[in-house]
Amino acid sequence: MSENIDVVTLDNGKNYMVTEELVINNIKYVYLTNEDDVADFCIRKVNYINNNEYLIGLDNKEEVLMALNEFTKKHKNE
């Protein structure tokens, strides 16, 4: 069984695997894990410009905590 995994290269030049995508309050959040170091993860949100998707950083600490909380709630019983 083969699973297709999306990989994104961020501004820091590192490759991250897309491990989850959640839509929260009509905003798509993308949860990323470094290919070479699973302890290195980050969250970005999708910004749409001219029908193209761009990953941008979260606005503040509260948004980061909210996104982490939603991820935790979804995966609580796994």
pTM confidence score: 0.86
Q: What is the pLDDT of residues 48-57, one digit of tens each?
A: 999 999 999 9
Please report, in angstroms and rounded to a whole number, the separation of the first and last CA atoms in the chain.
Answer: 21
SS3 assignment, position 76: coil
Mean pLDDT of the chain: 91
Q: How far apart (Å, rounded) are the C-alpha atoms in residues 66 and 42? A: 13
Neighbouring CB atoms inside 10 A of 70's CB total 17
Taking the CA atoms of residue 56, residue 62, residue 63 and residue 67 in that order, the dihedral angle to the nearest 10 degrees is 130
The residue among 37 and 1 whose pLDDT is bigger is: 37
